[in-house]
Amino acid sequence: MGSQDIIKYRPARADDVQFIIRTWIDSYKGAHGAGILSIPELAVPCACGRPIRYDFGAVMEVTLATILQRPGVTTWTAHNPRERAPHDLYGYLVSETDPNVPTWVPNGTDELGKPVYKLEIATSDQPLVHFVFVKNAYRMLGIARALFVAAGIDPAAPYLYTCKTSNVSKLERAGVMPRARWFPLSARFPKDKREKST
C-alpha cells in the first residue's frame, strides 16, 4: 500500500486552522510576491501606552484569518486518518468562488486635464486559489493536484491565484499552470454583491 492509498481529502476543520495559518505564513514570508511588510518584529508605539506588535507574521495572521472566513472560501486538506493532529495534515488548498476582480477605469480628468481613474470591483466566474501547501516530505506525490480536484478546480482551465512563491514561478516556467493568472488584488478588497465580469 503506497502513501497515496492512505491520504484522504476533506474540508478543513476548526482544529486545522492554526496549522493552516502558521504554515501559510512560514511558506509565504520569503516569497517575492509577498509585499513589503517587515519580517523582523517591530514595536510600534501606540497612544494606548503599549507597543503594538507589527511584523509580517502578525499582519498576515490577521489577514489570513480574515481570508479564511470570506464568503465563498473553502479549504480542502490532505490528511492521513491514521495519524494524530496536527501531524495528520499533509497539505491544503484554499480557494474561493466568485472572487473580486478590481479594475481601475477611466473617470474623466482633473482640473489640470490629467486622467482620473476610479476603482470598480466586479466578480469573476473563474475560481481563485489563494494558497496551496504540501509538506516537503509529501511533495511530488500528486497531493496538490488531488487537492485541486477535491476543490472542484481544473488546474488546466483558467483560474486566478493570489499568492506567488518561488515554487509557483517554477511551475509557471515549466508550463504546469499555463492558464493561471496571478491576481493578488482579489484578496485585498472586502467581498460583497457585485456584477459579474467575464
pLDDT tens, the chain, 198 aa long: 445 568 999 999 999 999 999 999 888 887 777 766 656 655 566 667 666 666 777 788 888 999 999 999 999 999 998 888 777 899 999 999 988 888 888 999 999 999 999 888 888 889 999 999 999 999 999 999 999 999 999 999 999 999 998 888 888 899 889 999 998 888 887 776 444 444
Query: Which 3 state secondary structure label does DSSP give 87?
Result: coil
Q: Which domain holds residue 93?
A: 3-14+74-197
User: Is residue 23 assigned to a domain?
Assistant: no
Specify the residue for cell string 490629467.
114
Measure the CA–CA gap between 28 and 34, rounded to whole angstroms. Answer: 7
User: Is residue 52 assigned to a domain?
Assistant: no
Number of H helices, E strands in the chain: 5, 11
User: Is residue 41 assigned to a domain?
Assistant: no
Query: Which 3 state secondary structure label does DSSP give 94?
Result: strand
User: Is residue 10 assigned to a domain?
Assistant: yes
Cα angle, residue 34 at apex, residues 120 and 10 outer, rounded to 5°? 85
User: Is residue 19 assigned to a domain?
Assistant: no
* pTM as predicted: 0.82
Specify the residue for cell string 499552470.
177
Q: Is the C-alpha dihedral spanning 69, 71, 76, 82 positive or negative?
A: positive
